[in-house]
Amino acid sequence: MLPFLKILVRNIIKGPATEAFPFGDTFTPKRLRGRAELNPERCLACGICSHVCAGGAIAMTESADGRGMEFRLWHNTCTFCGLCEHYCPANAITMTNDWHLSHEQSEKYTCCEVQFVEYPVCKRCGKRMLPHLHQRLAKGLVGAVNTAEIMQICPDCRRLTSAMQQIKSKTCFSTDRSNS
């Protein structure tokens, strides 16, 4: 007569389906797109992340003394779309599965991911320069890049090439020795 009664009884016996959070534990999947994080060691300061950032959450400012570049990602502006992580040629940005971003109103201007990417020094003249791929290659941070070609092309083309390399990121991962 009423087919739902059977299910209703079953659900009552089964008990609540909701999680005890915030008084108990909750499950966070490994792949959850949460707070973004930058590894300044890997960052090439190429700016593709702020170019693709849908919310305009990423600001890159060169320090006044030219020593490096400040990377600032506003968590409150971030849409957690993961485009920066996807297009980053050096796998420097990762979306962690940390979703604990609540903060007090007084912290709203400091709730950011701030990192300082220091520019390397030229061995000959001592001038600061952009952390280009050669530096990273020497540290073994970026794998499977044709060094000879990279060194002969202008920064704009290099950005394109490194982005292309990133797209084959699966191979980049396997030759990446920085984690070992």
Burial environment of residue 142 by CB neighbours within 10 A (0 to 12, 13 to 18, 19 or more): buried
Q: Quick one: which of 88, 103, 96, 82 has its CA closest to 37? A: 96
- Annotate each residue in 84-103 with x if it binds other proteins (CB under 8 A) or - if it does not, as one string: --xx-------x-x------
CA-CA-CA-CA torsion for 132, 138, 142, 143, nearest 10 degrees?
130
Residues recorded for the chain: 180
Give the separation between CA 161 and CA 155, rounded to whole angstroms. Answer: 10
- Find the binding residues for other proteins in span 61-80 (CB under 8 A): 79-80
* From candidates 108, 114, 160, 177, binder to other proteins by CB under 8 A: 160
DSSP state of 136: H
- Annotate each residue in 28-57 with x if it binds other proteins (CB under 8 A) or - if it does not, as one string: -x-xxx-----------------xxxxx--
* From candidates 82, 91, 113, 118, binder to other proteins by CB under 8 A: 82
Contact status: 59 vs other proteins (CB under 8 A): no
Q: Return the SS3 of 28.
A: coil
Task: For the CB of residue 134, give the shortest distance to other proteins in the complex, in Å.
Answer: 22
Q: Which residues bind other proteins (CB under 8 A)?
A: 1-4, 7-8, 11, 17, 29, 31-33, 51-55, 79-83, 86-87, 95, 97, 160, 163-164, 167-168, 170
